[in-house]
Amino acid sequence: MCHSDESRPPAPPRQGEVGAHGDLRLTAADGNSFLAYEAHPAAPSTKGIVILPDIRGLHHYYKHLAERFAEAGFHAVAFDWFGRTADSDDRAEGFDWQTHIPQTTQPGIAADVAACIDKLRADGAESVFTVGFCFGGRNSYRQAADQPGLDGAIGFYGSVDTVDPVADQVRAPILMLLAGADQSIAPESFDDLIAGLTARGVDAERHVYDGAPHSFFDRSFADHAEACADAWTRILDFTDRHAT
């Protein structure tokens, strides 16, 4: 898994007050009921973001991250992967995600993300993005093809295996934030995807943080504070640029 129960996301460079926040349940078009967590900025905003967690699902790191995005001015919804297969919503470190991850499907993930997008739009979001981490990162990229009208997809340390098969259907811009010391994901594996998207006029941006490990986006990683700050800046610049 990417983050432990002690992990906490770094603060964004612009910080407003957080308004309403807390757990909720959403229902996808296929009837799946799943746990989510919402956080809203206290000030009016027309930006929304769906947070796709790592392989352990919706644990505390991602609830805190939703609040961080609310500080940065986004309506944020983080959701859990396992509403179709898990017996409870407990995603503590002992959760057996290994059993449930293989049971996720691309149509199921897309349906859950769509339900999150509908919630954000109902709350006033006019521009909606996705951001994901590891398993969530690669599935965030995929939403650039699966979600009509998505304004952009952001991924941390996620591979391209889910988006490569549908690369010709990608319409939304993609921002890829890669850990240079992550041995499992080679930056060059993104070359063909980036070239293909760029040739079609789709904005595809990659940045590699040399020396940063997988899961570097954690305020406890003092050695990588500069990378965390730069990642936030790139996210905010990307979303500002592509907001409708």
What is the CB-side half-sphere exposure of residue 121 using CA atoms within 13 A? 14
Question: What is the average per-residue pLDDT within 21-34?
Answer: 98
What is the model's pTM?
A: 0.96
Largest separation between any pair of C-alpha atoms in the chain: 45
pLDDT digits (tens, 9 = 90+) for 113-165: 999 999 999 999 999 999 999 999 999 999 999 999 999 999 999 899 999 99
Query: What is the reported pLDDT for 1?
Result: 52
What are the contacts of 161-165 at 24+ separation with CB within 8 A? 162/106, 162/138, 163/138, 163/193, 164/192, 164/193
Pair of tokens at residue 66: 């939703």
Kindly state the percentage of the chain with pLDDT values over 90.
Answer: 84
> What is the C-alpha radius of gyration for the chain, rounded to an integer number of angstroms?
16
Which of 3.30.450.20, 1.10.3470.10, 3.40.50.1820, 3.30.230.70 is the CATH number of 18-242? 3.40.50.1820
The answer to whether the CB of 37 falls within 8 A of the CB of 78 is yes
Domain ranges of the chain: 18-242
Query: What is the reported pLDDT for 107?
Result: 97
Pair of tokens at residue 62: 């991602």
The answer to whether the CB of 139 falls within 8 A of the CB of 162 is yes
* φ, ψ at 226 (rounded to 5°): -65, -40
Q: Which of 5-9, 15-19, 105-109, 127-131 has the lowest mean pLDDT?
A: 5-9
Query: What is the reported pLDDT for 162?
Result: 93
Of 117, 104, 135, residue with least CA distance to 36: 117
Question: What is the average per-residue pLDDT within 189-200?
Answer: 94
The answer to whether the CB of 42 falls within 8 A of the CB of 17 is yes
- Residue 153 and residue 167: Cα distance in Å, rounded? 13
Helical packing angle, 135-146 and 106-122, nearest 10°: 70
Whether 222 has a pLDDT exceeding 80, the answer reads no
Whether 181 has a pLDDT exceeding 90, the answer reads no
Angle at 166 between CA 150 and CA 216, to 5 degrees: 65
159 residue type, one letter: S
Whether 183 has a pLDDT exceeding 90, the answer reads no
Question: What is the average per-residue pLDDT within 80-94?
Answer: 94
Question: What is the average per-residue pLDDT within 91-105?
Answer: 94
